[in-house]
Amino acid sequence: MTMTHAARYGRLKLLALLLFLSLPVLVATVMALGRVGIPEGRTAHGELAPEIPVLAEWPLAANMAPSVSGDWVLAFDCGRRCAELSDQWWRLHRALGREAPRVSRLRVGGQAEALPGEVVARWAERPSWLEPGRLWLLDPRGQPVLGYPADVDPYAVKADLGRLLRMNPEAPWQGGQELAGQELAGR
């Protein structure tokens, strides 16, 4: 039994098509098993979930309790470079644009006057987890999300904060709007 030239050509085309379609699966399997060419998956520039307590448990002076509930919080220890750090984080806050009202800045320590939009507090006692000049990003419940060293690049912090704000959009009834008022207006 001999195959005609057209039948061999058709089978060859089918074999080439199957090989072409299975090639991505083969490459993906080799990449997964060999851990070759797979990105790390890390996108944050800071330390994820730093080992510090929630904001409500920070040892702040009693009359200095910050009122930043409902906002993301940029909290920083203001040590030797207080004026420089305050200005740096104020500029980053302004660079957030329309997302800026969703973020509060908490400066702990320092002698300088508060910059616009900055809440100033003092340590009642120095916590064991404190590192001078450190910056922390806290979620609206006061949970620590990211921690940064004193020499962090502000652009890295802005990128992380921008990503978090995009991934966690503001609820329509927040931001000065009342849910009940919206429901009544719609009737």
Residues 15, 30: Cα–Cα separation, whole Å: 21
Q: Count Cβ atoms below 10 Å from residue 102 Cβ, excluding itself.
A: 19
pLDDT one-digit tens code per residue, 70-99: 789 999 988 778 888 889 999 999 999 999
Instruction: Identify any residues that bridge with 147 across adjacent strands, giving them in sequence order.
Output: 47, 136
**Taking the domains of the chain in order of start, what are their residue ranges?**
47-167
- HEC assignment per residue over 82-113: HHHHHHHHHHHHHHCHHHHHHEEEEEECCCCC
CATH superfamily, domain at 47-167:
Glutaredoxin (3.40.30.10)
pLDDT one-digit tens code per residue, 46-68: 777 778 998 888 888 865 555 55
Q: Is the pTM of this model over 0.75?
A: no
CA dihedral 44, 45, 49, 50 (to 10 degrees): 180
